[in-house]
Amino acid sequence: MTQRNDAGFFIHPAFFLPLIFKILYFFTFVTTLFAVSIQIGLAQTSQKAEVNDLEIIVGDNISRYEIVSQLATTETPMGVWIFLNENIYRGIGAPRAYFDPNIFYQDIIHLHEYLKDKGYFHAAIDTILSYSSDGKYVDITIGINENTQSLIDTFMIKGLDGIVPDVRKDIFEKTLLKSNDPFSKNLLSVEQSRILKQLVNSGYSKAFVDSSSSVRYASTNNISVLLKFDPGNRYIFGETTFDHLDERIDSSVMLRQLDFETGQIYSEDKRIESEQNL
């Protein structure tokens, strides 16, 4: 059957077939694309296993909480926190925790370095991942065998023979490290900062750490530590002047706010405190 338009021309139904096919093709393409997108989304979702439990097994020298604090991988919080986060406001509560293999891999590498910094150079770390039957949840177990902790065999401070006796005596009497103490890279850093701070507050304003070394002996697993400083010259506070353009400011009043006087032994702490007083 043919159709007649207002101008008197007849249009055969076959004329509409290409257009109809194009519409059907477009509809099929969009539907297929939408279905594939859903499948990809579902696949990605199914690949994310929620961390149901994170068990840490360690010896008596390190606490579970210490290890947990070093991990980016976390355990899904209690249900009430999830409810608040998902149903009330994302700024409160806590979200679900999902397992990321790459992050977990970096966690284990970091743990090895962390244990080495505490003197556990032969620590062994075992991991177990137990997935639920549907793959939605995973239980993680991290077992740590610290083995023997390295001790400080010798601790030497060099470069301070030329400083004034009372400062040198105070530095050595208050040392944080000594032979047979457990090795700790963090404590070594604290000790280094302590000595340097005492030097710059005792007139040695240009003091710096010349070198720092830690040598571990394979035979005993213990470590010899050496800190070498360059104290430089000893300085005193010179004359203090204020460079300002405001004539209303009385320099004598500002001088009274200083915690030091001309001729006193230079102290970095006193200089900073004086600047804050102004």
Helix (H) or strand (E) holding 168: helix 165-173
C-alpha 1 chain-centroid distance = 78
- What is the structure's pLDDT at 39? 36
For the chain, how are helix, strand and coil distributed in percent, rounded to 5? 40, 20, 40
DSSP 109: H
Of 34-38, 188-192, 221-225, 254-258, minimum mean pLDDT range: 34-38
Distance CA 148, CA 120 (A): 6
Residues of the chain within CATH 3.10.20.310 domain(s) are: 48-145, 152-230
Roughly what angle, to the nearest 10 degrees, separates helices 165-173 and 185-200?
160
Q: Which CATH number fits domain 48-145: 3.10.20.310, 3.20.20.100, 3.40.50.720, 1.20.140.10?
A: 3.10.20.310
- Per-residue pLDDT of 218-273, as tens digits, reads 899 999 999 999 999 999 887 666 665 556 555 555 565 665 667 788 888 877 77
Q: Residue 160: which of 190, 198, 189 has the closest Cα?
A: 198
User: 152-230 in CATH: which number?
Assistant: 3.10.20.310
pTM, full prediction: 0.69
The residues, ordered by sequence, that sit 6+ positions from 21 with a Cβ below 8 Å of its Cβ are: none
Tens digits of residue pLDDT in 45-87:
446 899 999 999 999 889 999 999 999 998 887 766 676 666 6
Model pLDDT for residues 81-139, shown as the tens digit of each residue: 676 666 666 666 667 779 999 999 999 999 999 999 999 999 999 999 999 999 999 99
Mean pLDDT confidence for 155-169: 96
